[in-house]
Chains A and B, each alone.
Chain A
Amino acid sequence: MKIVVCLKQVPRESAASGWSIHPNRERVSGIINPYDRRAIKGALDIRKGDDEIIALSMGPPNTRESLLETLAMGVDRAILLSDPRFAEADTLATSYALSCAIGKIGDVDLVLCGSRTVDSETGHVGPQLAEFLEFPLLSYVNHLTLDGRTIVAERVCDRYRELLTAQLPALATYSHRHPVRAYATLAGLRKAFDEDAVTIWDANDISAEMSLIGKAGSPTLVKRILTPEKQRTVTMIHDKRTDETITMLLKLLRERNILLLDKVRARRGFEGFDL
């Protein structure tokens, strides 16, 4: 059986270097999206006999580092889709490119990924990739079991516990609600970096239609990035560990028609009175 795990390399949270519409992911240290890590572990848990696990990611050249880490975790092959023509892709164009790559890998039985990424958090790629591949979609999965060609997923969707059943080939996304710890080993990292066996494919390798990748293939456009507006004018109090802070607060609240003290006293059965 061939299992493809799709992953995205995302910036380490503290490494955000300014907010632009298309951040320079090359310069920022990247990690495997934690929810995709769950999918990698899922694939490793499902694998039996000579099942093959292939890690696939679309990104700039330094994505190689995360793909080497997947090899260190036990994945059999790693493929990086990298091409300047993929740049500025929205989730639809990204999903299309991934589907072309999966088509080129050929005879894929199962595609696994995280339900969303920690940086853009749209959760679109899983469902859209399933559409391009025309695979049944099992989303927000907590646990997967395989019985021959039948796949069964336990999941929770909007507080409804559900059991999904489908036939392979299929695509499953792992829930973001319970991130899981899954480490590579030191030996794995050494071997992966020594062998450096990440295959790189560009747009021609996957026979992608140019009008469907990158900016051309992206119906959505980010018009601009805003830092949230300061709608409120703040009154600051520097607390000196005295009751003065409390008196000040109650006064400010009263000015805003929030009669906190009165409300509390009313609840306790006192008559209200002015401060």
Chain B
Amino acid sequence: MTRFERGGVLKDLTYNGIWIFGDHRNYFQDRVTLQLINRARELAATINTYVGAILIGDAVDEYVLEYTAHGADRIFLIEHPRLKQYSSELYAAVLVDLIRHYKPEILLFSGSDFGREIAPRLAARLHAGTSSDCISLRIDEDGNLIQISPAYHGNALAEIVTPEARPQIATVRPGVFDEQKHNYHAQAELIRVEIDLDYEERVAVRSLGRIETYDTGLEHADYVVCVGRGFSTRDNVRKARELSSLMDAELGSTRPVLEKGLLADESLIGQTGKTISPQLLMILGVSGAVQFTASITGSECIVAVNQDPHAAIFKFCDIGIVGDAGSFVSRLLKQLKK
């Protein structure tokens, strides 16, 4: 077991810095790296440390400016032709070496598939702790990172902490934090790390291309209409489409609607879908499990319509309407079209 470093009895105080893994291939989709850099800045201020962005790849220096402009203090740049294709095996090996050398206190990853695979690998190798799909991060009075993520089929939230092991590793749900505006005057220290890639590569990864999707722009919409199981007939979805068109809103849905083939995968809001923060969100026939509601907490005003007055969604909205959503939408359409 010599491969594994054990966490010491006392927290190692020589660990310093909040690192964000630059998930650059998912960049345009999520911009999560920028969101995390911004949140990291806020956290770093409370523990008086720096924010570092880790860029691993080949010819990825264009992201250096982006990360700088969005708040990173230091950029660690590791480039090599062999790092062009994302590989959790290679990237994990690189990161372990970096971590052993620079000893960051906190390491944040996007909750992308890749992030959620590489984070636990690192945790295992370093005998550190990690949580997944965080929807909130804060520093507690002991200076520990509190990682908050949904638990129990999404009905509750768990506060997770690794009191001793370092680094503290978290993967974060895309969209829960805001990015900072692009600051043209920002400056950061660039550290080019030369690395001998003499790691064993046991898994060969061949890319077969990206799956083409159309972006519905749910994440950036001002108004969103979301349909759930209680509104999942063809007729109702048609009404919802008409409503969202009138309102200039984007149309989203929960999983049961997708499973009926009524809307495309891109419209999914929730833990395995999109996180949204519109000005106005109208939710029709959704019961409100936490894996959904955690993705809408950023909404300014939530209007929920559901037949069941005990539906959990009514604890999450600003305006709750108990009634038949279909009839409600018909009447709303009539009023709006007058």
Contacts and interface: CB of A to CB of B under 8 A. Distances in A.
A137 B133 contact: no
A230 B148 CA distance: 16
A134 B205 CA distance: 18
Interface stretch (A42-50, A78-86, A90-98, A190-198): A90-98
B336 interface: yes
A177 B203 CA distance: 22
A222 B323 contact: no
B157 A228 contact: yes
Contacts of B89: 136-137
B323 A161 contact: no
Contacts, number: 251
Given A140-B113, A236-B320, A131 B124 contact: yes
Given A167-B202, A225-B158, 16 more contacts: A123-B132, A131-B124, A160-B25, A160-B209, A161-B207, A166-B203, A219-B123, A219-B164, A221-B129, A221-B162, A224-B159, A226-B148, A232-B317, A234-B318, A243-B331, A246-B331
By Cβ-Cβ distance, the 7 closest A-B pairs, closest first, are A239-B323, A219-B129, A220-B129, A131-B124, A219-B165, A124-B120, A136-B202
Most chain A CB inside 10 Å of its own CB: which residue of B86, B124, B297, B322: B124
Interface string A159-197: 111111111000000001100000000000000000000
B132 A165 contact: no
Interface of B: 1, 3, 6-7, 25-26, 29, 86, 88-89, 112-114, 116-118, 120-121, 123-125, 127-133, 146, 148, 150-153, 155-165, 202-211, 213, 223, 246-248, 271-272, 279-280, 290, 293-294, 297, 300-303, 305, 314-324, 327-328, 331-332, 334-336
B155 A245 contact: no
B128 to A, nearest CB: 6
A204 interface: no
Most chain A CB inside 10 Å of its own CB: which residue of B117, B156, B165, B320: B117
Contacts of B202: 136, 166-167
A176 B133 CA distance: 15
A226 to B, nearest CB: 5
